[in-house]
Amino acid sequence: MAFIKKRPINEKAESILGTGACWEGTLKTEGSLKIDGRFKGQVVAAGSIVIGENAHVEASLEGSNILIAGTVHGEVKAEGKLEITPKGKLYGNFTAVKLLVDEGAIIRGECLMDSNSVNGEALNPLSSADDEDA
């Protein structure tokens, strides 16, 4: 019998968009953020971003670590780990250094897992040393 370690999704967050709340626009924070309501736009957090189970997000997300337990439509950039729980749904491309996807999670998009690309130094997989000699 396997035991699954349950991870808390109620991570301490400096900013919270609660259940029943709706927001549209750009949200930037120097700390962590938890979204339990509806959000549309762009989120940039210096800390972690947690998308709660009942949340519906149509936005680009950029943060240190990102946990998706609800629904996200948009591009996701995690400087560290991207985690998608069993009820989590991601419809969009994502970039992360580490990825943890639980059974039952849904991902529909392209994945780029390269620590250099997250830091803005994307490597071109089609280029080669031969191109430099030309």
The answer as to whether 2 is a domain residue is: no
Helix (H) and strand (E) counts in the chain: 2, 15
For residue range 6-48, what is the model confidence (pLDDT) as tens digits?
Answer: 555 445 788 899 999 999 999 999 999 999 999 999 999 999 9
The answer as to whether 93 is a domain residue is: yes
The amino acid at residue 109 is G
Q: What is the pLDDT of residue 32?
A: 95
Structure tokens at 120: 């803005």
The answer as to whether 86 is a domain residue is: yes
Global pTM value: 0.79
The structural domain count of the chain equals: 1
* Residues present in the chain in total: 134
For residue range 47-101, what is the model confidence (pLDDT) as tens digits?
Answer: 999 999 999 999 999 999 999 999 999 999 999 999 999 999 999 999 999 999 9
Distance CA 132, CA 125 (A): 14
Residue owning tokens 């549309």: 40
Q: What is the pLDDT of residue 113?
A: 84
Structure tokens at 8: 């808390």
- CA neighbours closer than 13 Å in the CB half-sphere of residue 110: 2
Domain holding 57, by residue range, is 15-115
Distance CA 41, CA 12 (A): 23
Distance CA 60, CA 55 (A): 14
Listed in sequence order, the DSSP H helices in the chain are: 115-118, 129-133
The answer as to whether 23 is a domain residue is: yes
